[in-house]
């Protein structure tokens, strides 16, 4: 039974099948909110309310011709989409989706899992850079350079912002952090500044407007993905969808408290809170326009990093007062 339970956990819920279904739903939600904010309809025809459009897009790409450039590093070019998907899926398995029984927290909960999630969420950036480099396309190479340049701007503020609530909760385990703020919801207000910094940093990590410089179609065709097509492009798109879910779930667990109740109630709390974070990301996407790469790095170090450090200082002082 233990083997069956492990397989169900890894493959069905909250494993790969759940991540695929929920990430495609979140893509639909993001596209729908973004469209309505621009007075458009968004997906409407494929499935009820267009719910199946992201899934249809995925399988359509899977069925298209898969082209590998003659000058590309073929082995690296082909394996990176799979590696990227595996990395974000592994990070998704570490999220405390609903179980907050700390005596039996689940198969993948352990002390320090928040550090592992942040590390795994950093790897897709390096994978995108390598994917661009392996394709040998000049537009992709420029996009890859921009990906890596942005990485050195937003990553430090994101780490500082996300780890500040962990310091106050006196734990490096996601389930314990979420349970701490679930029990003391008023302390969530002390992390408001860090939450704002983290939302902006996640927007940059996901390369969404105004931080979509690495794949600016009007400037560098499609950036990193210029040479990718068919199955490989489908896997990269799924990787971004799952990364959106994992990033939103991480912010929800750390900044919005736990998801109380049993499996059903806890799952509904997880969905509502992650969709709230995605709504904020969509709102930011709709309200802003693309900025230059130098402006991204300047903004990150002039504003995001100092604000994240300020949040950290507030957290340390508050922890000293409460201890």
- Residue 1's contacts (CB-CB under 8 Å, 6 or more residues apart) are none
Rounded to an integer, what distance in angstroms lies between the CA atom of residue 43 and that of residue 38? 13
Q: What's the pLDDT at 86?
A: 93
3-state helix/strand/coil string of 138-174: HHHHHHHHHHHHHHHHHHHHHHHHHHHHHHHHCCCCH
Give, in order, the Cα–Cα distances in Å from 52 to each of 169, 180, 233, 277.
40, 37, 19, 22
Q: What's the pLDDT at 187?
A: 86
Q: Over the stretch 129-141, which tens digit does the pLDDT of each residue have?
A: 999 889 888 888 8
More confident: 263 or 164:
164
Rounded to an integer, what distance in angstroms lies between the CA atom of residue 252 and that of residue 89? 18
**Range in 41-45, 89-93, 197-201 with the lowest mean pLDDT:** 41-45
pLDDT band at 74 (very low <50, low <70, confident <90, very high): confident
Q: Over the stretch 121-175, which tens digit does the pLDDT of each residue have?
A: 999 999 999 998 898 888 888 888 899 999 988 999 999 999 999 999 888 998 8
Q: What's the pLDDT at 322?
A: 78
Is 266 a residue whose pLDDT tops 80?
A: no
Is 77 a residue whose pLDDT tops 80?
A: yes
CB 15 within 8 A of CB 113: no
- Residue 38's contacts (CB-CB under 8 Å, 6 or more residues apart) are 286
CB 148 within 8 A of CB 129: yes
Give me the residue label for tokens 């458009």: 40
Q: What's the pLDDT at 175?
A: 85
Please state the domain count of the chain. Answer: 1
Rounded to an integer, what distance in angstroms lies between the CA atom of residue 238 and that of residue 235? 5
Is 104 a residue whose pLDDT tops 80?
A: no
Rounded to an integer, what distance in angstroms lies between the CA atom of residue 229 and that of residue 114? 34
pLDDT band at 197 (very low <50, low <70, confident <90, very high): very high
Mean pLDDT across the chain: 87
Q: What's the pLDDT at 263?
A: 65
- Residue 290's contacts (CB-CB under 8 Å, 6 or more residues apart) are 209, 210, 211, 212, 213, 216
Q: What's the pLDDT at 279?
A: 96
Q: Over the stretch 32-73, which tens digit does the pLDDT of each residue have?
A: 999 999 889 888 888 888 999 999 999 998 888 888 888 888
- 320 burial level (CB within 10 Å; 0-12, 13-18, 19+): exposed
Average pLDDT over residues 178-200: 90
The torsion defined by the Cα of 230, 231, 233 and 239, in degrees rounded to 10, comes to 160
Q: What's the pLDDT at 84?
A: 93
pLDDT band at 106 (very low <50, low <70, confident <90, very high): low
More confident: 303 or 180:
303
Q: What's the pLDDT at 318?
A: 87
More confident: 202 or 258:
202
Q: What's the pLDDT at 234?
A: 92
Q: What's the pLDDT at 269?
A: 83
Average pLDDT over residues 94-107: 63
Range of the domain at 86: 2-322
Quote the Cα angle for 11-251-291, to 5°.
Answer: 110
Please tell me whether residue 24 adopts helix, strand or coil conformation. Answer: helix
Q: What's the pLDDT at 247?
A: 95
**Range in 99-113, 167-181, 239-253 with the lowest mean pLDDT:** 99-113
């Amino acid at each position: 039974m233990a083997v069956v339970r492990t397989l169900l956990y890894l493959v069905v819920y909250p494993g790969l099948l759940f991540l695929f279904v929920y990430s495609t739903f979140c893509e639909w939600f993001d596209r729908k909110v973004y469209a309505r904010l621009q007075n458009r309809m968004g997906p409407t025809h494929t499935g009820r309310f267009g719910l199946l459009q992201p899934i249809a897009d995925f399988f359509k790409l899977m069925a298209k011709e898969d082209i590998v450039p003659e000058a590309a590093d073929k082995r690296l070019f082909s394996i990176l989409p799979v590696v990227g998907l595996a990395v974000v899926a592994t990070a998704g398995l570490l999220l405390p989706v609903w179980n907050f029984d700390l005596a039996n927290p689940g198969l993948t909960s352990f002390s320090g899992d928040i550090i592992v999630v942040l590390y795994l969420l950093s790897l897709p950036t390096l994978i995108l850079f390598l994917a661009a480099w392996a394709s040998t396309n000049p537009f992709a190479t420029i996009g890859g350079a921009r990906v890596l340049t942005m990485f050195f701007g937003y990553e430090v503020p994101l780490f500082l912002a996300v780890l500040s609530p962990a310091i106050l909760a006196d734990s490096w385990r996601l389930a314990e952090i979420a349970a701490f703020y679930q029990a003391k919801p008023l302390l969530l207000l002390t992390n408001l500044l860090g939450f704002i910094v983290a939302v902006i940093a996640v927007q940059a990590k996901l390369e969404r407007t105004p931080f979509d410089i690495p794949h600016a179609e009007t400037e560098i065709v499609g950036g990193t993905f210029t040479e990718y097509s068919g199955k490989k492009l489908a896997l990269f798109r799924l990787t971004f969808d799952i990364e959106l879910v994992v990033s939103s779930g991480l912010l929800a667990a750390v900044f919005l408290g736990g998801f109380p109740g049993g499996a059903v109630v806890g799952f509904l709390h997880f969905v509502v809170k992650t969709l709230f974070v995605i709504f904020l990301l969509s709102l930011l996407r709709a309200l802003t326009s693309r900025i230059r790469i130098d402006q991204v790095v300047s903004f990150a170090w002039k504003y995001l990093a100092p604000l994240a450090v300020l949040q950290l200082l507030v957290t340390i002082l508050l922890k000293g007062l409460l201890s």
